[in-house]
Structure 1
Amino acid sequence: MTLKHSFLLVCLLLGFTQCKSPGKQEQSQLSDDALLDTVQRRTFNYFWEGAEPNSGLARERIHMDGIYPEKDQNVVTSGGSGFGIMAILAGIDRGYVTPEEGLQRMEKIVNFLETCDRFHGAYPHWWYGETGKVKPFGQKDNGGDLVETAFIMQALLAVHQYYVNGNQREQALAARIDKLWREVDWNFYRQNDKNVLYWHWSPEYAWEMDFPVRGYNECLIMYIMAAASPTHGVPSAVYHEGWAQNGEIVQPHKVEGIELNLRYQGTEAGPLFWAQYSFLGLNPTGLKDEYCTDYFNEMRNLTLVNRAYCVRNPKHYKGFGPDCWGLTASYSVNGYAAHSPNERDDLGVISPTAALSSIVYTPEQSLQVMRHLYEMGDKVFGPYGFYDAFSETDNWYPQRYLAIDQGPIAVMIENYRTGLLWKLFMSHPDVKNGLAKLGFSIGNK
């Protein structure tokens, strides 16, 4: 059986009615809104149809070729599930599933999150979906992962706001979410009250991974959540001294002729997930603090740097250009890599999530990429949306997905269309308090 036949069979088994490759006439006639809905709906199904059945959460990866490392097809991911919860919430609101089906799925997810392994209230990177027991991400990474916990809590607070004023059953779900939120001991992850947050803690290896988190990267949301907690909220000094390093995070510079004002850890301009993960719920529009006068503009410029580098294409890769750009962490020709806009980290691999999840910052440019990829057909577009990555130079088109890359696509498309996830998350009283505590303000754009 060919890969194409396997793909069609999967579509039939999953009940998809629009899994056939788009014809040229269909491609040219599809409106932007129809294209957005097609991509959002298909990507939503990664988290709906493709979910691990016991937990209702997102599988770490789904390989349409059926080949998995270490037979991990039932391993679920906390951060990717956080993104997926938000994608599901948008799907419920759009009517992709019924309100009853959506509520049942959210109840299943919360049931799992109440009973699975936690470490001082924080979730690990991975669990075994059937049991809720931690699956080590690495030998010493077998306990709490505070960054992934922040991603899942960002999602749960949005769900809380969606249901908190609903019927009795919906309010009960919101109350259970509030309890999970209050049980995360963010202060514990300061490692003996230091003014910085640590990424990991292990019941076996304690703090041996020794990873204090400093900015700027994808972890801004962790510091905001830690400050916002009504039960274990960290003092503002943790943000200012740890994340911002007493102002050293500010480092005005230009890349590809575009101004950036923050210091990006280890590089002049990082992979695009740095502009996305923290802002799935946190609305960057008009957001500012003493280190950045406009987070939306900063993240937009980071996206434009990424695009400009790909258009310039200094390594002369096949296919790179205005309609095919986007470097971020994803599968790569040899394993996994954090592709970035510099010659060291540019491996000729395009990751669709990079440009598509940037649609809130660069709508015209991101839609151009989306339409181009859609017109490439089933080489890059499958039952759960665009596959994770490809390289035209290497003629490499794996039919594989990663949850942490699929989730931001669906979430940011919804934020571009309606702002739903931004509105929900930003409306939570604890989030408002946390932002104020750290000196953030929200202006008008």
Structure 2
Amino acid sequence: MSKYLTLVILIIGFSCSKEGEQAPTGGSELPLPEVQITDDELLDLTQKSTFKYFWDFAHPNSGAARERYHPSNPANDQNTVSVGGTGFGLMAILIGIERNYINRGEAVDRLNKIVTFLENADRFRGAWPHWLDGNTGKVRSFSPQDNGGDLVETAFLVQGLICVKEYFKNGSDTEKALANKIDVLWKGVEWNYYTQNQNALYWHWSPTNGFAINLMLRGYNETLITYVLAAASPDHSISKEVYTNGWAANGAIKSGNIKYGHPLIVRHPGSPLLGGPLFFSHYSYLGLNPNGLADAYVNYGDASISHSLINYNYALENPKKFKDYGKDCWGLTASYTRNSTGGIGYTAHSPVNDTGVISPTAAISSIPYTPEESLSAMRYFYKNKDKLLGPAGFYDAFSPQFDFWVADAYLAIDQGPQIIMIENYRTGLLWNLFMQNTEVKAGLDKLGFSYAK
């Protein structure tokens, strides 16, 4: 459900003692001690429970990631598949193998199902749409004009496909065949068509509406990965000028603003001092390693760290005096939200759009940038596990301010970054797979990037 912020933002079962329960001891009642959990155990629990979103609750016909899952109403929109979320799910399945949640054979079977579905699904000049019907593979419109190719969701998907290709390319004959199918699939995306013959990439193209939405991909936001993959494409590549004028705005992407002692580094549209929602520093960097990643204007690892620290320090300052905000309860990004009437909605939470709602994915997925601060937040979420921990990980959003309101819901694009970024923090698995790809390295070189080699 991530969507072009500059245009519009639409939108485990664990049994444990509750705080304050009393236990009889020698005829008297004493409070139970708080359950202790190590950092590794907490990371294990978060990854394993979140993995279930992409394995246990995936779409049964396609194997792909559902856009959303409501445990109390599992039939809600159950056939809408998220293209970008499926890319995140592909990466989660690789983690599942490495963490022994599933075996290699099970994973290959599921991955073949997903890839076959994607081969036969609707594509528009090689790009998939934002949403697909999980049964038919037909496009599901995201908005009236958005019924065709979505280049950014396609990039999120391709990021995952490339990781799978790299993981299996030297495996068994069956695994090599899967890797080869993926190679053909992603190289069919006509990235250069989405320039409209201009020096920029554009988000959408529809066979009925053309480029009517006309949304240029210009930083800083979540779309850097799109330019890297467009440059990496062997047959449908873009020039460096498309990147320089489009994403980098000929250097205007840079920011000299400083907040809480941290330079923002990049220009965030709509929030030039405090930074936008934290997914800006997550989605492109699930495979693309931000550490040491720099173009002629910006070091993106430094930008991601500063973005996360400013978001954290905003919670410490807590200018709106929301309950529980602080060093253990922080993290603003796009997620479900509590609207003014108490109902459920969706918005891109940020310091300039703070409604008192915390999104666990914000702090958890920032763990490579803010390990201590992220673990503190995870301990708060775990302390409140009776409310916050459900069948597929921590619920999407909550608000201590409003009687500890919790969104009984999950979104693919919020669950995916948690398991992936924790793994990158622990082992670098997805970063290593993506960055070893020959075409990716060629694309980064073409755009003039320096990066860890």
TM over 0.5: yes
Aligned partner of 1:107 among 97, 104, 112: 112
Query: Which residue identity is paired with 2:264?
Result: L
In the TM superposition, residue 392 of structure 1 has moved relative to its aligned partner by 1.2
* Cα RMSD after superposing both structures: 1.4
Partner of 2:46: 39
Q: Which structure 2 residues correspond to residues 120-135 of structure 1 after superposition, within 5 A?
A: 120-135=125-140
In the TM superposition, residue 398 of structure 1 has moved relative to its aligned partner by 2.1
In the TM superposition, residue 21 of structure 1 has moved relative to its aligned partner by 3.9
1:76 alignment partner, SS class: strand
Partner of 1:53: 60
Aligned partner of 1:338 among 348, 369, 384: 348
Given the alignment of the two structures, is residue 400 of structure 1 paired with residue 409 of structure 2, yes or no? yes
1:306 alignment partner, SS class: helix
Query: Which residue identity is paired with 1:104?
Result: D
Partner of 1:13: none
Structure 2 residues without counterparts, runs of 5 or longer: 1-11, 20-31, 340-344
- Deviations, residues 226-253 of structure 1 (Å, cap 9, x unaligned): 0000110111110001111111111211
2:65 alignment partner, SS class: coil
Give the TM-score, by structure 1 length.
0.92
Give the TM-score, by structure 2 length.
0.91
In the TM superposition, residue 85 of structure 1 has moved relative to its aligned partner by 1.1
Partner of 2:258: 254
Higher alpha-carbon deviation: 260-269 or 150-159:
260-269
Q: Does the 8 Å contact 1:22/1:375 carry over to 2?
A: no
Given the alignment of the two structures, is residue 264 of structure 1 paired with residue 259 of structure 2, yes or no? no
Partner of 1:8: none
Higher alpha-carbon deviation: 250-259 or 320-329:
250-259
Partner of 1:315: 320
Higher alpha-carbon deviation: 27-36 or 388-397:
27-36
- Deviations, residues 290-334 of structure 1 (Å, cap 9, x unaligned): 111x32121011000000001110001111110000000000102
Aligned partner of 2:15 among 11, 17, 20: 20
Q: Does the 8 Å contact 2:337/2:407 carry over to 1?
A: no
**Identity over aligned residues, as a percent?**
54
In the TM superposition, residue 443 of structure 1 has moved relative to its aligned partner by 4.9
CA distance in 1, matches of 2:35, 2:290: 33
- Deviations, residues 206-238 of structure 1 (Å, cap 9, x unaligned): 111111111110000000010000110111110
1:409 alignment partner, SS class: helix
- Deviations, residues 260-318 of structure 1 (Å, cap 9, x unaligned): 221112212111000100000000111111111x3212101100000000111000111
Aligned partner of 2:204 among 181, 200, 203: 200
- CA distance 1:371–1:66, shift in 2 (3 Å): same
Given the alignment of the two structures, is residue 149 of structure 1 paired with residue 154 of structure 2, yes or no? yes
Given the alignment of the two structures, is residue 275 of structure 1 paired with residue 281 of structure 2, yes or no? yes
Given the alignment of the two structures, is residue 373 of structure 1 paired with residue 381 of structure 2, yes or no? yes
Query: Which residue identity is paired with 1:341?
Result: P
Aligned partner of 1:347 among 350, 355, 375: 355
- CA distance 1:26–1:443, shift in 2 (3 Å): farther
- CA distance 1:52–1:255, shift in 2 (3 Å): same
Partner of 1:435: 444
In the TM superposition, residue 29 of structure 1 has moved relative to its aligned partner by 2.4
Q: Does the 8 Å contact 1:352/1:387 carry over to 2?
A: yes
- CA distance 1:101–1:309, shift in 2 (3 Å): same
In the TM superposition, residue 190 of structure 1 has moved relative to its aligned partner by 0.6
Runs of 4+ in 1 over 4 A off after TM superposition: 22-27
Q: Does the 8 Å contact 1:22/1:377 carry over to 2?
A: no
Structure 1 residues without counterparts, runs of 5 or longer: 1-15
In the TM superposition, residue 393 of structure 1 has moved relative to its aligned partner by 1.0
- Deviations, residues 48-71 of structure 1 (Å, cap 9, x unaligned): 000000110111110112077xx4
Partner of 2:396: 388
Aligned partner of 1:233 among 208, 232, 237: 237
CA distance in 1, matches of 2:349, 2:69: 21
How many residues matched? Answer: 422
CA distance in 2, matches of 1:416, 1:250: 27
Q: Does the 8 Å contact 2:18/2:386 carry over to 1?
A: no
CA distance in 1, matches of 2:392, 2:431: 24
Query: Which residue identity is paired with 2:312?
Result: R
- CA distance 1:41–1:27, shift in 2 (3 Å): farther
Q: Does the 8 Å contact 2:67/2:82 carry over to 1?
A: yes
2:139 alignment partner, SS class: coil
CA distance in 1, matches of 2:180, 2:423: 25
Query: Which residue identity is paired with 1:190?
Result: T
- Deviations, residues 192-217 of structure 1 (Å, cap 9, x unaligned): x1110000011111111111111110
Partner of 1:287: 293
- CA distance 1:208–1:22, shift in 2 (3 Å): farther
Partner of 2:26: none
Q: Does the 8 Å contact 1:215/1:243 carry over to 2?
A: yes
2:256 alignment partner, SS class: strand
- Deviations, residues 44-99 of structure 1 (Å, cap 9, x unaligned): 0000000000110111110112077xx41221100111111111111112110011
Q: Does the 8 Å contact 1:305/1:341 carry over to 2?
A: no
Q: Does the 8 Å contact 1:285/1:295 carry over to 2?
A: yes
Given the alignment of the two structures, is residue 172 of structure 1 paired with residue 167 of structure 2, yes or no? no
Query: Which residue identity is paired with 2:173?
Result: Q
- CA distance 1:152–1:21, shift in 2 (3 Å): farther
- Deviations, residues 381-438 of structure 1 (Å, cap 9, x unaligned): 1010000001111121121111110000000011111000000000000000000000
- CA distance 1:207–1:26, shift in 2 (3 Å): farther
Q: Does the 8 Å contact 2:79/2:134 carry over to 1?
A: yes
Q: Which structure 2 residues correspond to residues 290-301 of structure 1 after superposition, within 5 A?
A: 290-292=296-298, 294-301=299-306
1:441 alignment partner, SS class: coil
